[in-house]
Amino acid sequence: MGWLSETGRVVAVEPDAVWIEADRSAACGKCAARAGCGQGALSALLQSGKGRVRAISGETLTAAQCAVGDEVVIEVPEATLLGGTLLIYGFPLVIGATLSMLASPWGDLWSASAFAIGLLSGFAILRFITVRSGGVLPGLSEPRLTSKQVNQFEDLLVKS
């Protein structure tokens, strides 16, 4: 499997990582499912299309080499994206479906209520695990820095 990359602007620098703000709507414009997906509309509604992500130092670029305002490229393994999606969406659904089936002998209302409780519990469990493990789900890779983008305007100013 390959790597997925995205460009973003550094908004904060830590000793071993940086916080990147990327335009989510740019990624949605490249996706084949954009017409049938509500993620782009939801992101635009809740966060104005901007998303922040923490990226660790990579092999070619470290956090110490970055400053606030730099344009950088980050990458994440495709397996992390696929595994994370399955975990984040699948785990709560499995918990909800299991509780729903266990509650089904008592009727539809109990079954529907058990599904809702299971779904919310699944999300709460994932949130608890994420907070306990420092913001990353175990087994999933953090995005890493790969390169800086050179602003052509700044490059012209430096040369003159």
Which pLDDT tens digits describe the chain residue by residue (160 residues)?
A: 677 778 888 888 888 888 888 765 555 555 655 555 555 554 444 444 567 777 888 888 888 888 888 888 888 877 777 787 888 889 999 999 999 999 999 999 999 999 999 999 999 998 888 888 766 666 667 788 888 877 655 555 555 5
The pLDDT, as a whole number, for residue 4 is 79
**Residue 26: DSSP 8-state:** H
Structural domain of 155:
3-159
Long-range Cβ pairs for the range 99-103 (8 Å, 24+): none
In the chain, the number of structural domains is 1
> Can you read off the two tokens belonging to residue 3?
């790597």
What pairs with residue 74 in β-bridges?
6, 145
- φ, ψ of residue 8 to 5 degrees: the values are -155, 175
Quote the radius of gyration of the chain (alpha carbons, Å).
20
> Can you read off the two tokens belonging to residue 20?
């990147």
The answer to whether the beta carbons of residues 10 and 20 sit under 8 Å apart is: yes
The pLDDT, as a whole number, for residue 45 is 45
- CB environment 66-93: b (16+ within 10 A), e (fewer): beeebbbbbbbbeebeebbeebeeebbe
Residue entry with tokens 């913001």: 135
Q: How many helices (H) and strands (E) does the chain have?
A: 6, 5
**Residue 142: DSSP 8-state:** P
